[in-house]
Amino acid sequence: MASNLGDGTKWLAQHWSGAGAQAFTSASDTRRGLADERSSHMTGVAAVLRQGGQQVEQQARNQALALVNDLMRPTTRLGFTLPLALWGTILDSPMREILRVEIRGDIQAAHAEALSRHEGIVVTVQGMQDALAAESAQAIPSSGESTAISSVQARGRTSYGYGGNTWWEDDLAPAS
């Protein structure tokens, strides 16, 4: 839009003279400057949103994979190797208190890691909201490009069972 205003003003200046032409040129130049500023601002906002969207996508993928990895992590208690999530389902069953504390601790650690990843997602989304809320005259906040995005690799084949007996195996395909 700004280039159209500039080109139109140049054409009129070549074919029109006098006080009216000068007033039009002055007003047009002001409008062109405002349009340039808005265009630059929106380009910056779009860049923040594009980068933020990519970060949120990666962070959500990392959150999902890490949750699955944490909940399916082989945990051995009393000679049984079962996923942590399965051990969590029997917390209310009769068992030694030390075993209950160990299982609860593992689950709380997985929960704390999930909350930390969630906070990273919230920070990224907040950066995108801040960019959208910024006025043209304000500097555009970044989407948190300094926030490191670590890829979570899916684990390989894991076996569950008792002692040397395998009841089932699990194999998560890596995200691509």
How many independent structural domains does the chain possess? 1
CA-closest candidate to residue 73, choices 92, 167, 100, 65: 65
Its sign, for the CA torsion 31, 34, 36, 42, is negative
Is the pLDDT at 115 greater than 90, yes or no?
yes
Q: Within a domain: residue 76?
A: yes
Q: How much is the average pLDDT of 122-126? A: 94
Q: Within a domain: residue 27?
A: no
Residues listed for the chain: 176
The band of 110, judged by pLDDT with boundaries at 50, 70 and 90, is very high
Residue for token pair 């890596």: 174
Q: Within a domain: residue 116?
A: yes
Radius of gyration of the chain (CA): 29
Its sign, for the CA torsion 113, 115, 121, 122, is negative
DSSP 3-state assignment of 159?
A: strand
| Cβ 78 vs Cβ 171: under 8 Å | no
Side-chain-side CA neighbours of 67 within 13 Å: the count stands at 12
Q: Within a domain: residue 103?
A: yes
Q: Within a domain: residue 7?
A: no
Residue 157, pLDDT score: 64
- Residue 54's domain comprises 49-170
- The answer, as to whether pTM is greater than 0.75, is no
Q: Which residues contact 128 (CB under 8 A, 6 or more apart)?
A: 48, 49, 52, 53, 56, 143
Residue 38, pLDDT score: 76
Q: Which run of H or of E encompasses 166?
A: strand 165-170
Q: Within a domain: residue 11?
A: no
Q: Within a domain: residue 109?
A: yes
Residue 134, pLDDT score: 78
Q: Within a domain: residue 146?
A: yes
